[in-house]
Amino acid sequence: MEASTARVESSPGESLREAARERPAAVAFGVIALMVLALIAAKGVHDVAQASLNGLTLGVIYALGAVGLTLVYGILKLVNFAHGDFLTFGAYMAYMVNVTWGMPLFAGIFVAMAATAVLGLFLERAMWRPMRSRGAGFLQLLLMAIGLAFIIRSTIQWFWGTEIRTLDVNVVDSATFLGLRIGETELMVVLVGLVVLVVTGLVVRFSLLGKQMRALSDDLALAETAGIDTRRVILYTWIFSGALAGLAGVLSGALTNLRPELGFELLLPIFAAVILGGIGNPFGALVGGLVLGVVIEWSTLVIEPRWKVTVGFVALIIALVIRPQGIFGKARAP
Amino acid sequence: MTELPLAFTLEAFTDFGFWSGVLVIAGIYAVVTLGLQLNVGYTGLVNFGQAGFMAVGAYTMAILVLETGLSLWLAMPLAVAATMAFGVIIGLPALRLRADYFAIVTLATAEVVRLAAQNARDLTGGNKGLYCNFEGGEQVCFDDSWRSVSDSILGFIENFWSDPESLLPLLLVVWATVAIGTVALGYIQRTPWGRVLRAVREDEDAARALGKNTLLYKIQSLAISAVLGALAGFFLALFLATITPDDYEPIVTFFAFGVLVLGGLASYRGVAIGAVILWTLLEGTRYVELPISEEKAAALRFAIVGVVLIGLMAFRPQGIFGKREEMVLGD
Distance from CA of A177 to the nearest CA of B (A): 34
Whether B86 shows a pLDDT value over 90: the answer reads yes
Going by pLDDT thresholds of 50, 70 and 90, the confidence category of residue A204 is confident
Query: Comparing A212-216, A242-246, B287-291, which segment has the lowest mean pLDDT?
Result: B287-291
DSSP B5: P
Nearest CB partner across the interface for B303, out of A154, A304, A314: A154
Mean of the per-residue pLDDT values for chain A?
Answer: 85
Please state the rounded mean pLDDT for residues A64-86.
92
Residues A114-157: pLDDT tens digits? 999 999 999 999 999 999 888 888 888 999 999 999 999 999 99
CA A9, A12, A18, A24 dihedral sign is: positive
pLDDT above 70 covers a percentage of chain B that reads 92
A275 and B CB contact within 8 Å: yes
Kindly give, in sequence order, each residue whose CB lies less than 8 Å from that of residue B75, ignoring residues fewer than 6 positions away: B60, B61, B62, B64, B65
Q: Is there a contact between B309 and A147 (Cβ–Cβ < 8 Å)?
A: yes
pLDDT of residue A17: 60
Q: What residue type is B263 in one-letter code?
A: G
Residues B227-275: pLDDT tens digits? 999 999 999 999 998 999 999 999 999 999 999 999 988 889 899 999 9
Going by pLDDT thresholds of 50, 70 and 90, the confidence category of residue B40 is very high
pLDDT of residue B203: 86
User: Residue B233 and residue A155: Cα distance in Å, rounded?
Assistant: 30
Which residue in chain A has the smallest CA separation from B102? A320
Torsion of CA B83, B86, B87, B89, to 10 degrees: 160
DSSP B44: -
| Chain B residues in contact with chain A using a Cβ-Cβ cutoff of 8 Å | 40, 46, 93-94, 97-101, 103-105, 107-109, 111-112, 115-116, 119, 254, 257, 261, 295-296, 298-300, 302-303, 305-310, 313-314, 317, 328-331
What's the half-sphere exposure (Cβ side, CA atoms, 13 Å) at A13? 0
User: Residue A216 and residue A229: Cα distance in Å, rounded?
Assistant: 10
Q: What are the DSSP calls for A182-235, one per residue?
A: EEHHHHHHHHHHHHHHHHHHHHHHHSHHHHHHHHHHH-HHHHHHTT--HHHHHH
Going by pLDDT thresholds of 50, 70 and 90, the confidence category of residue A3 is very low
Distance from CA of A308 to the nearest CA of B (A): 10
Distance from CA of B100 to the nearest CA of A (A): 7
Whether A183 shows a pLDDT value over 80: the answer reads yes
User: Residue A255 and residue A183: Cα distance in Å, rounded?
Assistant: 10
Domain ranges of chain B: 21-247
Domain ranges of chain A: 67-322
Cβ–Cβ gap A143/B299 under 8 Å: no
Q: Note the CATH number of domain A67-322.
A: 1.10.3470
Nearest CB partner across the interface for A313, out of B111, B299, B313: B111
Which residue in chain B has the smallest CA separation from A158? B296
pLDDT of residue B2: 46
Strand residue runs (E) in chain A: 174-177, 180-183
Going by pLDDT thresholds of 50, 70 and 90, the confidence category of residue A303 is confident
Rounded (5°) CA angle B116-B117-B122: 100
Q: Is there a contact between A200 and A286 (Cβ–Cβ < 8 Å)?
A: yes
Cβ–Cβ gap B299/A154 under 8 Å: yes
Please list every residue in chain B whose beta carbon sits closer than 8 Å to the beta carbon of residue A161. Answer: 295
- State the ipTM, two decimals: 0.86
A272 and B CB contact within 8 Å: yes
Rg (CA), chain A: 21
Query: Comparing A122-136, A317-331, B86-100, which segment has the lowest mean pLDDT?
Result: A317-331
A133 and B CB contact within 8 Å: no
> A222-229 long-range contacts, Cβ below 8 Å, gap at least 24?
none
For residues A280 and B31, the model is more confident at B31
Q: What residue type is A74 in one-letter code?
A: G
Which residue in chain A has the smallest CA separation from B309? A147
Cβ–Cβ gap B101/A324 under 8 Å: yes
Distance from CA of B275 to the nearest CA of A (A): 17
User: Residue B194 and residue A126: Cα distance in Å, rounded?
Assistant: 39
Which residue in chain B has the smallest CA separation from A136? B330
Mean of the per-residue pLDDT values for chain B?
Answer: 87
Q: What residue type is A20 in one-letter code?
A: A
Which residue in chain A has the smallest CA separation from B106? A317
